[in-house]
Amino acid sequence: MSVEAANDQGFSLDAYLPYRLSVASNAVSGLIARAYQDRFSLSIPQWRVICVLAEDGGVTQGQIVGRTMMDKVTVSRAAQELLKRHLVARTDHQADGRSHVLALTAEGSSLHAEIAPLALAYEAALISGLAPGEVALLKRLLTRLQSVAGQLAGDATQA
Amino acid sequence: MSVEAANDQGFSLDAYLPYRLSVASNAVSGLIARAYQDRFSLSIPQWRVICVLAEDGGVTQGQIVGRTMMDKVTVSRAAQELLKRHLVARTDHQADGRSHVLALTAEGSSLHAEIAPLALAYEAALISGLAPGEVALLKRLLTRLQSVAGQLAGDATQA
DNA sequence: GCCATATAGTATCATATGCAACGATATTCG
DNA sequence: CGAATATCGTTGCATATGATACTATATGGC
């Protein structure tokens, strides 16, 4: 319909999966990030670190990096801020003097317990109206995209 | 299994949709961004502007903002760089002195024609092994998540 | 027609991100 | 044991991003 464009060889931005994925992710991440920031003054990396510690107990920063795909610098800065706020505690690693073991303090643990229901409520709101099978498929497909992208990047991200 | 953690009230980061979405999107965006940057010295915002112009012809920056969810500052900077490289041309808007109409130059158009197949090849690689119905559902679900997130943010993003 | 307000686009600033370099400790190999 | 190399975490830097303020123009009420 456009008068002078017509350069279109069948490429449509709106239908392009990487674009759709990025736009959807930005919308969702922005929503969640603002919620954590406004109510708890937590960034998303900080919240992720708290989650890993709540799930796995005492781990090193390197282990958090391996588990979350975050950059080690991001994890380092998140951990430092959480330390300053006494939400996590650090103990020297018993077998490696370069490393430390992080764990939630009681305060950090109770903050996690406070936020988790809110996080789940956001997820529930996002998937409201979707069939359970659709959600499961969505998560599976996202994992697959991540894995394929990792392989294409020549990365060692495992399947 | 962990000895002292056990703070887990059923919240698992790995199963959390916003997290999965963010990680998958970062992996895919990073892959695509590096490809465009390395081969064509284009950022993703620049590439998106080119795509909109290829599809829609002459539009204003404001229209690009409305169509792509990018910030107006991001679009402004992308457009300036593309102007400098003579990939797009600007003409004064005939009815609004504050605005301009952007369009691809011949050079910009041919760059778009060159990149589009590469972009489609990346998409094809990403979805290889998925059933067509799965891909269609994925795109539909992503659009829905974006829409719900927009509503929850109190935003005027239409359905 | 004139003033108040709204909008298009740009510039400025504050923050976030990730790469590269670094110091400290571990490990490997002669 | 000692030197070369690798790894953990931090720091510095260079870039990207988005909120805010600003300039110029447009629009609506009087």
- B110 and B134 belong to one structural domain: no
CB contact under 8 A, A143 and B24: yes
Contact list in A for residue B34 (CB cut-off 8 A) is 153
Lowest-confidence region among A6-20, A48-62, A97-111, B31-45 = A6-20
**Cβ atoms of A26 and B71 closer than 8 Å:** no
- B136 and B70 belong to one structural domain: no
- B79 and B151 belong to one structural domain: no
Is residue B42 a part of any domain in this protein?
Answer: yes
* Residue pLDDT, tens place only, B70-82: 999 999 999 999 9
Of A42, A38, A35, A36, nearest to A84 (Cα)? Answer: A42
Residues 40-79 of A with CB under 8 A from B: 44, 48, 51-58, 68-69
Q: How many structural domains is chain A composed of?
A: 1
Partners of A148 in the β-ladder: none
More reliable by pLDDT, A7 or A67: A67
- Structural domain harbouring A57: 13-122+131-152
pLDDT band at A1 (very low <50, low <70, confident <90, very high): very low
Is residue B2 a part of any domain in this protein?
Answer: no
From CA B34, how far away is CA A155, in angstroms rounded?
A: 13
CB contact under 8 A, A21 and B28: yes
DSSP SS3 for B61: helix
Is residue B122 a part of any domain in this protein?
Answer: no
Rg (CA), chain A: 20
* Residue pLDDT, tens place only, B4-28: 444 456 789 999 999 999 999 999 9
Is residue B109 a part of any domain in this protein?
Answer: yes
Burial environment of residue A140 by CB neighbours within 10 A (0 to 12, 13 to 18, 19 or more): middle
Is residue B121 a part of any domain in this protein?
Answer: no
* Residue pLDDT, tens place only, B115-159: 999 999 999 999 998 999 999 999 999 999 999 999 998 743 333
Q: Is some CB atom of chain A closer than 8 A to the CB atom of B93?
A: no
Highest-confidence range of A150-159, B5-14, B30-39, by mean pLDDT?
B30-39
Residue ranges of the alpha helices (H) in B5-69?
17-40, 44-56, 61-68
- CATH number of domain containing B68: 1.10.10.10
